[in-house]
Protein backbone atom coordinates (compact mmCIF):
# COMPACT_ATOMS: atom_id res chain seq x y z
CA UNK A 1 0.00 0.00 0.00
CA UNK A 2 2.84 2.36 0.89
CA UNK A 3 4.52 1.56 -2.44
CA UNK A 4 1.40 2.61 -4.33
CA UNK A 5 1.27 5.89 -2.48
CA UNK A 6 4.95 6.58 -3.18
CA UNK A 7 4.69 5.61 -6.86
CA UNK A 8 1.82 7.97 -7.49
CA UNK A 9 3.02 11.39 -8.69
CA UNK A 10 2.02 14.26 -6.42
CA UNK A 11 0.16 17.04 -8.17
CA UNK A 12 -0.10 20.47 -6.60
CA UNK A 13 -3.46 21.01 -4.92
CA UNK A 14 -5.83 23.55 -6.36
CA UNK A 15 -6.98 26.29 -3.99
CA UNK A 16 -10.41 24.67 -3.59
CA UNK A 17 -8.81 21.33 -2.76
CA UNK A 18 -6.52 22.97 -0.21
CA UNK A 19 -9.47 24.65 1.46
CA UNK A 20 -11.38 21.37 1.47
CA UNK A 21 -8.37 19.55 2.93
CA UNK A 22 -8.03 22.19 5.63
CA UNK A 23 -11.72 21.91 6.48
CA UNK A 24 -11.51 18.12 6.54
CA UNK A 25 -8.51 18.15 8.87
CA UNK A 26 -10.32 20.44 11.29
CA UNK A 27 -13.35 18.16 11.26
CA UNK A 28 -11.29 15.04 11.96
CA UNK A 29 -9.79 16.31 15.18
CA UNK A 30 -6.84 18.27 13.83
CA UNK A 31 -5.96 21.73 14.95
CA UNK A 32 -8.56 24.35 14.10
CA UNK A 33 -7.98 25.86 10.70
CA UNK A 34 -6.37 29.26 10.80
CA UNK A 35 -8.15 30.21 7.59
CA UNK A 36 -11.49 30.61 9.36
CA UNK A 37 -10.15 33.28 11.70
CA UNK A 38 -8.02 34.98 9.03
CA UNK A 39 -10.61 34.72 6.25
CA UNK A 40 -12.47 37.87 5.35
CA UNK A 41 -16.07 38.10 6.47
CA UNK A 42 -18.33 38.09 3.42
CA UNK A 43 -21.66 39.88 3.87
CA UNK A 44 -24.63 37.54 3.93
CA UNK A 45 -27.16 40.17 2.91
CA UNK A 46 -27.55 39.10 -0.71
CA UNK A 47 -26.01 35.65 -1.04
CA UNK A 48 -28.59 34.56 -3.64
CA UNK A 49 -27.46 37.20 -6.13
CA UNK A 50 -23.72 36.74 -5.75
CA UNK A 51 -23.43 32.99 -5.09
CA UNK A 52 -22.70 32.06 -8.72
CA UNK A 53 -19.99 34.74 -9.04
CA UNK A 54 -18.14 33.66 -5.90
CA UNK A 55 -15.10 31.42 -6.13
CA UNK A 56 -15.11 28.03 -4.49
CA UNK A 57 -13.01 29.39 -1.62
CA UNK A 58 -15.44 32.21 -0.96
CA UNK A 59 -18.38 29.81 -1.09
CA UNK A 60 -16.58 27.63 1.44
CA UNK A 61 -16.00 30.65 3.70
CA UNK A 62 -19.69 31.58 3.53
CA UNK A 63 -20.64 27.99 4.27
CA UNK A 64 -18.38 27.98 7.33
CA UNK A 65 -19.78 31.32 8.50
CA UNK A 66 -23.29 29.96 8.21
CA UNK A 67 -22.36 26.79 10.09
CA UNK A 68 -21.13 28.93 12.98
CA UNK A 69 -24.25 31.12 12.85
CA UNK A 70 -26.57 28.11 12.87
CA UNK A 71 -25.06 26.91 16.15
CA UNK A 72 -26.54 29.99 17.81
CA UNK A 73 -30.15 30.51 18.79
CA UNK A 74 -32.27 30.82 15.63
CA UNK A 75 -34.35 33.56 17.18
CA UNK A 76 -31.27 35.77 17.41
CA UNK A 77 -30.41 35.42 13.69
CA UNK A 78 -31.37 38.19 11.32
CA UNK A 79 -33.68 37.61 8.35
CA UNK A 80 -30.72 37.91 5.93
CA UNK A 81 -28.77 35.27 7.82
CA UNK A 82 -31.75 32.91 7.79
CA UNK A 83 -32.28 33.50 4.06
CA UNK A 84 -28.59 32.91 3.35
CA UNK A 85 -28.59 29.69 5.38
CA UNK A 86 -31.67 28.43 3.54
CA UNK A 87 -30.27 29.37 0.12
CA UNK A 88 -26.90 27.72 0.73
CA UNK A 89 -28.59 24.56 2.03
CA UNK A 90 -31.46 24.25 -0.45
CA UNK A 91 -30.89 26.81 -3.22
CA UNK A 92 -30.94 26.12 -6.96
CA UNK A 93 -27.20 25.59 -7.35
CA UNK A 94 -24.95 22.56 -7.68
CA UNK A 95 -26.96 19.35 -7.98
CA UNK A 96 -30.23 21.24 -7.45
CA UNK A 97 -29.65 23.58 -10.40
CA UNK A 98 -32.60 23.63 -12.79
CA UNK A 99 -32.02 21.42 -15.80
CA UNK A 100 -34.09 23.58 -18.12
CA UNK A 101 -33.57 27.32 -18.42
CA UNK A 102 -36.57 29.61 -17.91
CA UNK A 103 -38.83 29.82 -20.96
CA UNK A 104 -38.46 26.17 -21.95
CA UNK A 105 -42.04 25.16 -21.09
CA UNK A 106 -43.72 27.61 -23.51
CA UNK A 107 -41.34 26.49 -26.26
CA UNK A 108 -42.22 22.84 -25.66
CA UNK A 109 -45.97 23.59 -25.58
CA UNK A 110 -45.67 25.60 -28.80
CA UNK A 111 -43.64 22.84 -30.47
CA UNK A 112 -46.09 20.09 -29.50
CA UNK A 113 -49.04 22.21 -30.64
CA UNK A 114 -47.30 22.82 -33.96
CA UNK A 115 -46.65 19.11 -34.45
CA UNK A 116 -50.27 18.19 -33.64
CA UNK A 117 -51.57 20.81 -36.10
CA UNK A 118 -49.12 19.60 -38.77
CA UNK A 119 -50.19 15.97 -38.24
CA UNK A 120 -53.88 16.93 -38.44
CA UNK A 121 -53.38 18.88 -41.67
CA UNK A 122 -51.36 16.02 -43.16
CA UNK A 123 -54.02 13.46 -42.14
CA UNK A 124 -56.91 15.37 -43.71
CA UNK A 125 -54.96 16.28 -46.85
CA UNK A 126 -54.07 12.62 -47.45
CA UNK A 127 -57.63 11.58 -46.68
CA UNK A 128 -59.02 14.15 -49.14
CA UNK A 129 -56.80 12.91 -51.97
CA UNK A 130 -57.25 9.19 -51.21
CA UNK A 131 -59.45 7.02 -53.43
CA UNK A 132 -62.89 6.01 -52.09
CA UNK A 133 -63.06 2.87 -49.91
CA UNK A 134 -63.61 -0.42 -51.74
CA UNK A 135 -67.15 -1.74 -52.20
CA UNK A 136 -66.42 -4.71 -49.94
CA UNK A 137 -66.36 -2.38 -46.91
CA UNK A 138 -70.04 -1.47 -47.22
CA UNK A 139 -72.69 -2.80 -44.83
CA UNK A 140 -74.67 -4.35 -47.69
CA UNK A 141 -71.64 -6.38 -48.82
CA UNK A 142 -71.05 -7.66 -45.28
CA UNK A 143 -74.72 -8.72 -44.94
CA UNK A 144 -74.46 -10.50 -48.28
CA UNK A 145 -71.32 -12.26 -46.97
CA UNK A 146 -73.35 -13.47 -43.98
CA UNK A 147 -76.04 -14.90 -46.28
CA UNK A 148 -73.40 -16.59 -48.43
CA UNK A 149 -71.75 -18.10 -45.31
CA UNK A 150 -75.13 -19.51 -44.17
CA UNK A 151 -75.75 -21.00 -47.63
CA UNK A 152 -72.36 -22.71 -47.63
CA UNK A 153 -72.61 -23.70 -43.94
CA UNK A 154 -69.25 -22.16 -43.02
CA UNK A 155 -68.00 -23.08 -39.51
CA UNK A 156 -71.01 -25.16 -38.41
CA UNK A 157 -69.69 -25.93 -34.88
CA UNK A 158 -69.03 -22.50 -33.33
CA UNK A 159 -69.45 -20.01 -36.16
CA UNK A 160 -72.17 -18.34 -38.16
CA UNK A 161 -73.77 -21.63 -39.32
CA UNK A 162 -74.05 -23.19 -35.85
CA UNK A 163 -77.42 -23.66 -34.12
CA UNK A 164 -78.52 -20.67 -32.02
CA UNK A 165 -75.78 -18.36 -33.32
CA UNK A 166 -76.68 -14.74 -32.52
CA UNK A 167 -73.43 -12.89 -33.31
CA UNK A 168 -72.95 -10.23 -35.97
CA UNK A 169 -71.18 -12.54 -38.39
CA UNK A 170 -69.19 -10.54 -40.92
CA UNK A 171 -71.02 -7.25 -40.29
CA UNK A 172 -68.73 -4.69 -38.65
CA UNK A 173 -70.57 -1.50 -39.64
CA UNK A 174 -73.46 -0.20 -37.60
Which of 78, 96, 114 is at the close of a domain?
96
Task: Say if 6 falls within a structural domain.
Answer: no
Q: What is the pLDDT of residue 40?
A: 64
Cβ-Cβ contacts under 8 Å for 150 (sequence gap 6 or more): 160, 161
Say what the pLDDT of residue 87 is. Answer: 85
- Boundary of a domain, candidates 47, 76, 96: 96
Q: Classify residue 20 by burial, with Cβ atoms within 10 Å: 0-12, 13-18, 19+.
A: middle
| Structural domain span for residue 36 | 13-96
| Residue 156 covered by a domain | yes
Domain count, the chain: 3
- Global pTM value: 0.41
Q: Do residues 111 and 144 both lie within one domain?
A: no
Rounded Cα distance between 165 and 144, Å, is 17
Given this model, what pLDDT does residue 3 score?
40
Based on the fold, state whether residues 122 and 174 are members of the same structural domain.
Answer: no
Number of Cβ within a 10 Å radius of residue 90: 9
For residues 47 and 83, the answer to whether their CB atoms sit within 8 Å is yes
- Rounded average pLDDT per 10-residue block, the chain, 174 residues: 41 48 46 50 78 85 87 88 86 75 94 99 97 90 92 88 88 82
Amino acid sequence: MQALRLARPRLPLRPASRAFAAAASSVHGGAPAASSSASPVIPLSNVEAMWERLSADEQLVIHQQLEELQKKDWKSLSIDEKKAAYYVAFGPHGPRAPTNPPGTVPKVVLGVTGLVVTATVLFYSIRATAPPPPKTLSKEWEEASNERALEQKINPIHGISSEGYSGPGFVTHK
